Structure 1
Amino acid sequence: MDSALNKLSPKDGYLVSASTYIDNHDIEIVQVLYQPIIGIVAVALYSYLRFEIDSKLILSERKLNKNIIDGLGISIPELYDARLKLEATGLIKTFEGEDKLGKYHIYELQKPLNEVKFFTDDLLSTALLEMVGNEKFKKLSLWNKFDNNYHDKKEVTKQFFDVFNLNKDNIVLQAQLNNSKISNDESLINRQKVSLDMTVFSDFIKNSYVSSDDVMNHLDIIKSVKLVYGIDEFQLVKLLEKAINVTNNKIDYNEFKKLAQKNFDSGIRRNFKKNKIVETAKAKDDEKDKNIDPLVNAFKAYVPLEFLEILKNELGSFVTANERYAVKTLVEKQMLPNEVINVLIHYLLVVQDSSTILKGTFERIAADWTKKKIKNAQEAMTYVKSFTREKSLQRKATKKDSKGRKSNVIVKEKLPEWAKEKGKNKLTDVGKKENKEIDELLKKINGK
C-alpha cells in the first residue's frame, strides 16, 4: 500500500485555494470531458473543493478530511485515489505542511483546459479516446460546437424597441449619466484627494514581486479601486500580489477588484465607529477650518461606500445590494467627486428620510448635479438648501390656495425634476402634459 496513503488520516486538516476563478463552465468541462478519465468520485471531489475555496488562507481555521469523507460518503482510500487523479490531470496541486495542530494539506484548484485546448493536449485526448472509444470520442469532440448553417434563411428577430416602450426622458437621463463628465482638462480621478501617492506606491512595488511595468500599464484600474474603497498604497500592493495568476505570473485585475471589495467589506464591518459621522470627521480632519460646517468635513473624510455603510448603521438600517451597486457604479464613472456623492447619499437618507436609495432617483440627481458642474461638498449643500427653501415656499403658496383664497402670486418652479419627484420613482407616472412642463422647466434651468 502507498506509504502516503498510510499517513493520510480523517483528522488531518486541509485548506483550499485556487490559481484563478473557477466558474460553472469549468465544472461542466470537468464533468463532460475529464470524468471518463478520472471517474465520478474525482469529479465530485473537485466540485466539493471548489465551494471550499478561500482567498485568504488561515491555518488555524483549517477543516478536517473527515468533512470531505462525510460530505461525499467516501473512504480515505477513495479520497486519496481521487486526489491523485486530479493531480495527474492538472486539476489540482497539493502542498503539505505540519504545525502544532497537526498535519495539513493545501489544495490549489487549477482551471481545466477548455474544450478546444483539451483536444489538442496529447495526453488528455489520448486518455479520453482509450476510455470511451472512437464513436463517443467523436461526439465529445463536437461538444459545444453548434451547427449554424441556417444563417442563409430570412431573420425575423424583433429588436428591443419593437417589443418594449420606454419613456424617452428616462433614456436621455441615463445617457447623461453615462456620458457626462465635469469639463476640465485634468481628469476627475487625478483631481481626487484619494489619488495615489506615486512615490510611496512605487517604493512598495519595488520591494514586491509584482511587475512594475504591468502595474504602470494598469494605473487607471488601481486608481479606480483606491477611489472606490479608499485602500492605502501598502494594501494595494498586497492585493496585487494576491491577484497574481500563478500559471502565467501576471496580475488578474478582475481578481484584484474582487479582493479589494472583500477587503473593504471585512474592514468596514469590523471597524464601525461608535461616534457619529460628524464627530468622527472632526477627529480625522486635523486641518479643517472651524468656520466650515462640520458635516462638510464628514463628507470629505470617507469614500462613498464607507460613508453609506456608516450612515445606514447610525440610522439603524443596513446597506442593500442595490444600494452598493448604485453607489459603486457612480464612483467608478468619475462623474462627481466623492464628497459630492456623499452629500447626495446624505440628502436621500437623512433630508428626504428615505429608507433606501433607489437607483433611478440616485442617478437622476447625479446627472443633474453633473450638468450643473457641482464640484465640492459645500456647493452641493448650498444647492440642496436653495431648492429646499424654494420648495417650502411653494408648499405655503399651495396651502393658501387650498383654503379657497385665490392667489395672485405666481410661483415659478425652479426645482430640478428629481427634487419635486419625492415619493415617485418612475417618470412614466407623469402624464404627457406634465412631461412637457418638466421639459420647459429644465430649459429654463439650463438657460441660467
Structure 2
Amino acid sequence: MAADNLKNISPKDGFVVVQESAPSDTQLQGLLDLYVPIMGANAYGVYALLSRFGKPHPNLVKRSMNKELLLGLSIGMRDFLDAREKLEALGLLRTFEKSDRLGKLSLYFILRPLVGKNFFDDDLLSTLLLETVGQGAFRKLKEKYCPPKFKVDDCVEVTKSFLDVFPIQQSTLMKNAASKTVQPLDKRQEQLIDKNETDLDLKFFRQLLERSFVPEKEAFKNMDAILTIHLLYGLDEMQLVHLLEEAVDINTNKLNIDYFKMLAHNSFDYQLKANKKSSEQSQKNDGQMNTVTDNQPTSSADAALIEYCRTLSPMEFLQAIKDETGSLLTSSEKYMVSNVVSQRILPNEVINVLIHYILSDRGNASMNQNYFEKTAATWSKNGVKTAQQAMTEVRKVVQEGSEKRKSYANSKSSRYRKKRPVVQKEQLPDWAQADYKAPKSTQEQTTKKADLQAEIKRRLAEIKKDN
C-alpha cells in the first residue's frame, strides 16, 4: 500500500505536527489495548513520537525532517508510510502536504483516540477489533473499558437537582425551552433508514420481527448497526432476525447489540470456512472439467463477473479474491471496505468491481486506502449504481492511461528520433479492452485465468444450491 507514495516523499522532507494537547495516560493505555491489535506496534510508535513534536500553533519555518522520525523508531520509509496510512484509516491522524521555498512539507494533525464506551459504540472499530483479537479477548477488553454499572438496590436517592440548589425564574426557563425543538426518536430512525439505499426489505423484516420475540422498538433503535451488518456480511432478513433472537435478553427484553455483532462475525467466519472446504472438495472431484480457455467469449466472462459481484457481499468478495491470489487479508483492508460499506455511498456490486479491479486486474497484493477511497468517492459523485457502470468507469481509466502513455511516447520520439523509445505497456483485463477482444496470453496466464473462472462458477453454484 505504501509503495505508491514512496516516490513522493524523502527523508529530507520537512514536517510539523498540530496537536491541541498531549494524549493522556488513559488515551495512551487505550491505544495499547484497543488500537495496537488492529494497527500494529509501528503505528503506535509513530503516533507517540509525532505527539512529542505536537504544538497547537507550530511555526512552519521551524520544521523537522522525516529522517528524525525514521531514526527515532529505527524503521524505513516504507514501514513509516504503512504505519501512517493505518493511523489515517483509524481516524487518529490527518495529513496535509504543501511545497514552499524550503521544500516539501507534511502537516500532521494528531487526533484523539476513542476510548472506553465511545470505542465500543463505533460499529466499524469494535467489529474490526473483534475480528482481530477474537471473542474471548474482546469480551475481556469490553469488561475493562465498559464495566457494568454499580447497582444500588434497596436504596433511596436523595440527590438534589440543579433547580433545588440554583433557583431560576420558571418563565425564563420555559421561554428558553420553547425555542428548542427536539425531533422524536422514532422519526429520526425512520429518516435514517429512508436516506440510505439498501436492498433490505423492511416490510418483510417487520413481519419477521412480529412473529419473533424480538421487540420491534429494540431492533429499529439499533437499525443503523443492523444495516451495516447486513451490507457488510450479506445477511438476509431471516438470518438477521435469527441472530437478533439469539442476542435478545429474554429477562429484560433488551437487545445486546455487541453480542449481535459477534454472532454475525462468527456466522460469516464459519460460512467462509465451510465454503472454502466445499470448494476444495469440489475441485478434487471435478478435476479439469471446469477448465476455461481463452477462446471463451469475453462477454461470458463479463456476465460471470457481474453475477459474482451481485451475489456476494464485499467482505465475502474480498476474501474470495484473497484466497484466489494467495495473499493475506489485512486489518486495514477490512476497515477500509467496512468504512465504505457503512457510509452507503455505493452499492455492494460496485464496491466489488472496484476491489476486483485493484487486486485482480492491476495485480496488487493489497489495496491502497487513498486510491480505494478516492475512486469510491469519484464513482459516487458520478452516480455509478451498477456493476456494468463500474466496469465502464474502469474502461475509461484504462483508456485515459493508455492515451497518456501514447502521447508521452510520441513526444519523446519527436525529440529524440535517433533513439528508439521503449514504451511500457500495461496488460489490461479482458473486459476493459476497448474492442472486447481477449489478448493473447501465456500458458501461465491462461491457467491462472481458468482457475479464477472455475472458482467463480463453483461459488455461484454453491450459493444457488444454498438458496
TM-score (norm 1): 0.45
Larger Rg: 1
Normalized per residue, the structure richer in helix is 2
TM-score by length of 2: 0.43
Higher relative contact order (CA 8 A, sep 6+): 2
